[in-house]
Structure 1
Amino acid sequence: MKIVVGITGATGAPLAYKVLEQLNELKIETHLIMSQWAKTTIDLETNYKVEDFKALATTVYSYCDQAAAVSSGSFKADAMIIVPCSMKTLASIRCGLADNLISRTADVMLKERRELILAVRETPLNSIHLKNMLHLSNMGARICPPMPAFYNNPKTINDILTHNAVRILDQLHLSHPDAKRWKTK
């Protein structure tokens, strides 16, 4: 399986790291694209360096490289996860702007009818955000905002990140051993 991971500048860099970490543990081939603002957010929100994120990926592409392999439908990626997905990126994907490698690759996923998972980050949501999400959902994208669950009794931020990453990977039928599933007493 080949998965493209896009990281934008919305808040959520720790979740992006956790998703990459879990994909790496599952031995999934990953193709990483980080926006310039993602690099800033990584610095602001984590103790990791950009190089730590890159080290978890199989291949890393420049955000500006429109000629990268992942920009073509002939590149057989199975899915793309954008985590976090900023509202700017969401809007760009919705209107087909394809002005950078993240939005171009997302456009490829849609046109090729491949899995596109958007871990959108914003609150509160305005009508534009909601319309963009609905439009992309109707096109087949999965809207997967990171929401904390409490049925698994999280004790740490890492517990919350792990659960959110697991739920994102669930969308691709990938099961990570750290998953804590719903169960009744």
Structure 2
Amino acid sequence: MAWQSAVFEVIDMRSFSNLWFWIALAVMWSTASHWVLGVPFDMVTRAARRGGQAQADLEDLVRINVDRILFFAGAAGAWLIGVTSFLLTMLALLGFVYGIEFAQAVFCLFLPMSLVWAKGLRTARRIRAEALTGAALRRRLKGQRIFTQAVGMVAIFVTAMWGMYRNLAYLPLGD
């Protein structure tokens, strides 16, 4: 039992005061911003600069990823919406009604990301429906990236404010 006590003393298990939570939050939004519909954004900028084979590679990778996204959405879309809604509702209730900080932290991670996923699905559908290529495709991917970055900035700000509130509201008071 002594090693467990030592672990919990070294690693703060409260979410908003834990450095690992903030690192995970930053990595999650950085990764989401870099990978637009499963395509690394540097490919988009390279295709804009070089054209030719770089543009063809971008279009091929976007086509493959759009097909995968739309296949999964078609095959399990209703189930994914149901399970996601259930999990987000459960996290919201556990976190904000019952006061479980870990559920609040996970909710702060996944609610904004679910918005990005939904917008990504919509973008994939539009790319396929409009058969986008070239500059129009790059513009659509750039728009998705800007949306992701905007949601990420708001999510990080709101999470930071809520985390500071939680940390300040529950400070252990000395004698």
Q: Which has the larger radius of gyration?
A: 2
Q: Report if TM-score (shorter chain) is over 0.5.
A: no
- Name the structure where helix makes up a greater proportion of residues: 2
Given the two structures, how large is their TM-score scaled by the length of structure 2? 0.26
Tell which has more relative contact order, 1 or 2 (C-alpha 8 A, sep 6+): 2
Given the two structures, how large is their TM-score scaled by the length of structure 1? 0.25
- Name the structure where strand makes up a greater proportion of residues: 1
